[in-house]
Structure 1
Amino acid sequence: MGEPLKVGIVGCGAIIAQYLASFRKLEGLQLVAVADLDPARAQAVAEEYEGVRAVSVDELLGADDVELVLNLTIPAAHADVALKAIAAGKSVYGEKPLAATLAEARTVLDAAREAGVAVGCAPDTVLGTGIQTARKAIDDGLIGAPISASATMATPGHERWHPNPDFYYQPGGGPLLDMGPYYVTALVTLLGPVISVIGAASHTRNQRTIGSGPRQGETVPVSVDSHVTGVLVHASGALSTLLMSFDAVKSMSPSIEVHGEHGSLVVPDPNRFDGDVRLFALGAEDWETLPVSAGYLDAGRGFGIADLAATPQGQEPRAGGALAYHVLEVMESLLESARTGTAVGISSTVNRPAPVELSRLGTEVPAVQA
């Protein structure tokens, strides 16, 4: 792999801990700098991670030894930070979504193309053994031609545990834009791109009560729909039913099911990197747990960056900007359909990312297939 990719992180909130855990075991990545609007948070990271310096955001973006900027800021700042990094000649990898709006996401991709730098975006959970084993089962024909899928995320709301849940209920938030990227990215990975959607949405109450932390008991206003459902029409002809809710209490349904002519699959939670894949084949008497057969072993957040680093120049990374853009358009279009009551066509498309062979990232990474 040659020299490791040198990475600087902007944004040192809670999610950074998961990325740092991966960075410590990924030989293809070297963390060199961190920055945050709160300098104390950046300094705390630098003090516990040897060889990393805490700097201002502008210093990090201008640093000669930073080749890729990992953008862990809030969604409203994703495009601004990405565009500044690209203007400085650096590749970018961001937390989901790619940007707060599709228009902003388009400016990021256009700027990166003109600058000749790469764009990657979470979620990279689809590169783990859970989703990849399910994909291999589909590609190997274990369920025959895919007919449909269902994806369900039901929770009574993040305010029950999050001390500052305000942004989940403001424009750009809601269950679809918050959790939908995991599910829609998995559905596109399994079944291919989406060509049209139809959606419906609602909300049960106009305010939420914070359940923990120093603001416990305080209420926050709800200005977005907190229950979204819809149907995705894939280019392959398969139909996916999506339910994302901050209103429902719990679901017994698997996170994702995929049904085909010759069998059905239970797919693990797309917010995780692993999990059992179960098959009920036509004529079988019970579910069968499939052996782990594809994906990065022991993966965690940040593996998409290592995969990007191993992607030949000019090829789209598996957790790339084109996929993130398509997923964002699907989600925005679902919300538009819910507002208008009509089906909405999807103008973008994307190739299914190359499958990940069963492997362990470190000294050797499988090449991305054309």
Structure 2
Amino acid sequence: MKRVNVGLIGCGMISGIYLKNLTQVFNHVVNVTACADLVTELAKKRAEEFNVPAACTVDELLADPEIEIVLNLTAPAVHAAINLKALQAGKHVYTEKPFALTREDAHEVLTLAESKGMLVGCAPDTFLGGALQTCRKLIDDGWIGTPYAANATIIMGNAGDGMHPNFHNFFKLGGDPIMDMGPYYLTALVHLLGSVRRVTGSAQQLRQELTIENLKSPRYGDTVPIEAPTNVTAVLDFHSGAVASLQAAKESFGYKPRLEIYGTEGNMTVPDPNFFGPVPGLGSLITIQSRGGETKELPLSHGFTEDSRGIGVADMAYAIRTGRPHRASGRLAEHVLDISLGIFEASTTNQHVPIHTKADRPAPLPLGLKYNQLDS
């Protein structure tokens, strides 16, 4: 199969793992030919680090007729704008989450893509990892009976130490707990339980601004505004009849993830959806407690347990060549965005908010799949 040429826009911190995997693990299906960034030096640095042939401007990358997929790793506020430019240039696009910051922007991107016959994909692709694929198979095979409820918790630090080069983005919409970390959990829940039909919830924040007190930070002493909710609790009603609770907060230090699925015949503890495989100390095992109280620790049935970020790009590349649907799709990302914004609206309006988008559960990966078999 002829490899699909990829051009990357946005050479910040997250680009390293994408480039590593796309050039060393998934290079049988994709070929990264160019890096672009507003800061030319960053693009050159990444291109040299991963032997990418070209470092160029965004406009030069979009004008390259050989590039088929644009990988958009820019800041959340410009995701939709870059996606639209890529589609207008005749490129398929795969973007980091969040898919957009408004429903209108998400709809515009998908409408343009469909009118041009182009594919749109979006992170996270961790649901394609060994942990969540194994959980999916266990649920589909009836290990816990009919799932009727879920409980998801993600408590994390707020980047208040000022060490991340773009730490201020974590205090804006898109860097908040629901739009930043929420997509890992919401995508996992849709992958396991199906589409959400309505939501309610409360979105709060303790402070309106934060002063950097870390002496090691180059921004020590600076005060930055907090522009988005930092503590969110939600209830999700699924079309299947299941109900889930979600707690997501960036008000403290440390990292505390938890995801459990409850079924009529057993309960399942799911490894942290922020990762592709189990991580020691962070819900490292898949455990099922049966109706009789017996607890089993189960091995993984699927691969891709290391940090396989970029598998969604590779899967979309196969879809381009074969014509089959891709899994980390724009429609799935739009649904996750709709849920996220619905939670904020519910907090403002004091009521349930219907979710009008819908996404099919992505097709599971077959058993025994290897890195060069994503076309299955």
The verdict on a shared fold, with TM-score over 0.5 as the criterion, is yes
2:272 aligns with: 269
Cα distance change on mapping 1:35 and 1:51 into 2, 3 Å: closer
- The answer as to 2:353 corresponding to 1:344 is yes
Cα distance change on mapping 1:175 and 1:363 into 2, 3 Å: closer
Number of residue equivalences:
364
The letter for the 2-side match of 1:328 is L
Cα distance change on mapping 1:103 and 1:255 into 2, 3 Å: same
Map of 1:20-39 to 2, 5 A cutoff? Answer: 20-23=19-22, 24-26=24-26, 27-39=28-40
The letter for the 2-side match of 1:322 is R
Q: Helix, strand or coil for the counterpart of 2:145?
A: coil
1:44-70 alpha-carbon deviations (Å, 9 max, x no partner): 111122242101100000101111000
Larger mean CA deviation between 340-349 and 351-360 belongs to 351-360
- C-alpha distance in 1, partners of 2:191/2:120? 18
Contact 2:122–2:328 (Cα < 8 Å) also in 1 = yes
Cα offset, 1:163, TM superposition: 4.4
- C-alpha distance in 2, partners of 1:315/1:330? 26
- The answer as to 2:221 corresponding to 1:217 is yes
- C-alpha distance in 2, partners of 1:269/1:346? 25
The letter for the 1-side match of 2:274 is N
- C-alpha distance in 2, partners of 1:20/1:94? 14
- The answer as to 2:236 corresponding to 1:232 is yes
1:241-292 alpha-carbon deviations (Å, 9 max, x no partner): 000101245576x52100001111110111100012111111133x321111
The letter for the 1-side match of 2:228 is V
- C-alpha distance in 1, partners of 2:52/2:234? 47
- C-alpha distance in 2, partners of 1:119/1:113? 9
Contact 2:152–2:244 (Cα < 8 Å) also in 1 = yes
1:23-49 alpha-carbon deviations (Å, 9 max, x no partner): 111111110000000000000111122
Cα offset, 1:311, TM superposition: 2.1
Map of 1:196-215 to 2, 5 A cutoff? Answer: 196-210=198-212, 211=214, 212-215=216-219
Larger mean CA deviation between 172-181 and 118-127 belongs to 172-181
Cα distance change on mapping 1:41 and 1:82 into 2, 3 Å: same
- Fraction of identical pairs, as percent: 42
1:355 aligns with: 364
2:339 aligns with: 330
Contact 2:101–2:173 (Cα < 8 Å) also in 1 = no
Cα offset, 1:162, TM superposition: 2.7
Structure 1 residues without counterparts, runs of 5 or longer: none
- The answer as to 2:61 corresponding to 1:60 is yes
The letter for the 2-side match of 1:13 is G
- The answer as to 2:291 corresponding to 1:282 is yes
Q: Helix, strand or coil for the counterpart of 1:329?
A: helix
Map of 1:112-123 to 2, 5 A cutoff? Answer: 112-123=113-124
Q: Helix, strand or coil for the counterpart of 2:337?
A: helix
- C-alpha distance in 2, partners of 1:188/1:84? 29
Q: Helix, strand or coil for the counterpart of 1:186?
A: helix
The letter for the 2-side match of 1:255 is R
Contact 2:2–2:29 (Cα < 8 Å) also in 1 = yes
Contact 1:72–1:94 (Cα < 8 Å) also in 2 = yes
Q: Helix, strand or coil for the counterpart of 1:364?
A: coil
- C-alpha distance in 1, partners of 2:331/2:179? 17
- C-alpha distance in 2, partners of 1:251/1:5? 37
Q: Helix, strand or coil for the counterpart of 2:181?
A: helix
The letter for the 2-side match of 1:305 is V
The letter for the 1-side match of 2:259 is I
The letter for the 2-side match of 1:75 is P
Map of 1:86-105 to 2, 5 A cutoff? Answer: 86-105=87-106
1:11 aligns with: 10
Cα offset, 1:295, TM superposition: 5.1
Cα offset, 1:206, TM superposition: 1.7
1:303 aligns with: 311
Contact 2:20–2:50 (Cα < 8 Å) also in 1 = no
Cα distance change on mapping 1:148 and 1:250 into 2, 3 Å: farther
- Counterpart pick for 1:247 among 225, 229, 251: 251
Contact 1:265–1:278 (Cα < 8 Å) also in 2 = yes
The letter for the 2-side match of 1:205 is R
Structure 2 residues without counterparts, runs of 5 or longer: 279-284
Larger mean CA deviation between 46-55 and 309-318 belongs to 309-318
Cα offset, 1:323, TM superposition: 0.1
Cα distance change on mapping 1:128 and 1:118 into 2, 3 Å: same
Normalising by structure 2, we get a TM-score of 0.93
Map of 1:129-208 to 2, 5 A cutoff? Answer: 129-160=130-161, 161-208=163-210
- C-alpha distance in 2, partners of 1:213/1:257? 37
- C-alpha distance in 1, partners of 2:80/2:255? 34
- C-alpha distance in 2, partners of 1:194/1:109? 20
The letter for the 1-side match of 2:153 is T
